[in-house]
Amino acid sequence: MKRKKSAYWAVSCWLGLALLGYGLQPLVTPRRSSDAQRMLQERIIQKSLLIDAENASIVDRQLLLDLFLPEASNFELVPARMIPSRDLSPLRSSAVIDRGLESRLAPGMGVIGAQGIVGQIYQVGNGWSRIQLADDPAFVVPFQDEQDMRGILAGGPGRGVGYPKLRLDPLVLAEGDLLYTDGSGGVFPPSIYIGIVDQSRIPARDSVIRLPAGLDNSQEVLVLTPLDVGGSP
C-alpha cells in the first residue's frame, strides 16, 4: 500500500508540475516573442537610419559638385567623407578622409567643403588620407581680399582661426572683410572662401581671421586633383 501511495503521490506531483508549466507558458512565451520583435524592430530602424545617412551623403556630394564645378574647371573633384581625428601632437590640427591611393590622391592636394576651404592632404594610404586642416600652424594659403589685395594666410595659433603671415600688396584689413583664394600656387582655384576678418589690427599680420565654421566636423568634402596629375582627362 505504501508503494502505491508513493506512486500516486509521484504521479500527482508530476501532473501538478506539468499543469503549472502549461499554465505559465502563455506568460513566458509572449515575453520572449515581444523581445524578439523588439530586436527585429531595432534592426530595421538601424538599417533605415544607415540607408538615410548614405542617401544624405550622396545628396551632399552632388550638391558640392554642382557648387564648385564652375570654379574648379582646372581640377578633377574627388568626393570624400571627412572624419575628425585627433593628431598625435596637440599643436597640430588634422582630420582623415575615406579616399587615398586607390583614388590617385597625393600629398599637397587641396580639400574644400560646403563652407569653403578645409585644408591640404599631407599623408596618403590605401583607402585613407590625412588632411592638414586650415587652422594648423603649418598650413599656408595665398589669399586676396574684396579689394583684390593679396597676401599669405597661415593657420592658428588657435582652433578655427588664422592670421595674415605675409602681405604681397599694401594690405589694410577691416573687420568683416572676406578673404578668398587667389588661384595661385596650383592647389586651390580662385574664389574659394577662406574666412572673415574677426579682429583688425595694426600691423595687419596681427589681425585674426575666422576660418569656415565646423572645420574639423564630419562632413562631405572634395579633393582638388589637378587635371595634369594622375592621368586625368
> H/E element holding 3?
helix 2-68
Count of CB atoms situated within 10 Å of the CB of 142: 19
> H/E element holding 195?
strand 193-199
Which residues are CB-contacts of 34 (< 8 A; sequence separation ≥ 6)? none
Burial 87-111 (b: 16+ CB within 10 A, else e): eeeeebbbbbbebbeebbbbeebbb
- Please report which confidence band the pLDDT of residue 147 belongs to, taking 50, 70 and 90 as the band edges: confident
- Please report which confidence band the pLDDT of residue 204 belongs to, taking 50, 70 and 90 as the band edges: confident
- Please report which confidence band the pLDDT of residue 86 belongs to, taking 50, 70 and 90 as the band edges: confident
pLDDT at residue 82 greater than cutoff 50? yes
Average pLDDT score over the chain: 78
Bridge partners for 81 per DSSP: 220
Q: Which of 11-20, 57-66, 189-198, 210-219 has the lowest mean pLDDT?
A: 11-20
| Mean of pLDDT values over 140-150 | 90
| Mean of pLDDT values over 196-222 | 90
Count of CB atoms situated within 10 Å of the CB of 33: 10
Q: Measure the CA–CA gap between 75 and 111, rounded to whole angstroms.
A: 11
Count of CB atoms situated within 10 Å of the CB of 230: 14
